[in-house]
Amino acid sequence: MVLFKRRPASDLCELLSGQRRGLRAALLRGLLSLGELPYRVVVGWRNWRHDRSASKSQKVAVPVVSVGNLTVGGTGKTPMVALLARWYRRRGVRVAVVSRGYGAEEGQRNDEAMELELRLPDVPQMQNPDRVAGAQAAIEEFQCQLVLLDDGFQHRRLRRDLDIVLLDATEPFGFGHLLPRGLLREPVSSLRRAHVVVLSRADAIEPARREEIRARVRRYAPNAVWVEASHAPEALVNSAGEARPPADVRGKRVLAFCGIGNPGAFRSTLQSLGAEVAAFREFPDHHAYVREDIAALAQAARECSADLAVCTRKDFVKIRADRLGNATLWALQIDLSITTGQAGLEALLVKHVPAANNGSRESNTIQANSSPSREVPS
pLDDT, tens digit (0-9, with 9 covering 90-100), for 140-180 = 999 999 999 999 999 999 999 999 999 999 999 999 999 99
pLDDT of 268-286, one tens digit each?
A: 999 999 999 999 999 988 8
Of the two residues 200 and 116, the one the predictor is more confident about is 200
Higher pLDDT pick, 11 / 260: 260
Statement: residue 332 has pLDDT above 90: yes
Taking residues 75-83, report their average pLDDT. 93
Domain map (residue ranges) of the chain: 59-230+336-360, 233-335
Share of the chain above pLDDT 70, in %: 89
CATH class of the domain comprising 59-230+336-360? alpha beta
The dotted CATH code for 233-335 is: 3.40.50
pLDDT score recorded for residue 105: 57
Burial of 187 (0-12, 13-18, 19+ CB in 10 A): middle
Nearest to 215 by CA among 188, 244, 245: 188
Most confident of the following: 25-29, 239-243, 253-257? 253-257
Return the SS3 of 148: strand
Quote the pLDDT of residue 355: 82
Question: Do 98 and 149 contact (CB within 8 A), yes or no?
Answer: yes
pTM of the model: 0.87
Q: Over 70: is that where the pLDDT of 370 sits?
A: no
Which is higher by pLDDT, 12 or 97?
Answer: 97
The chain-wide mean pLDDT, for the chain, equals 89
What crossing angle do the helices spanning 8-17 and 23-52 adopt, rounded to 10°?
Answer: 90
Cis preceding-peptide flag for 180 (omega within 30 of 0) = yes
pLDDT over 50 (residue 3): no
* Cα 67 to Cα 209: distance, rounded to the nearest angstrom: 24
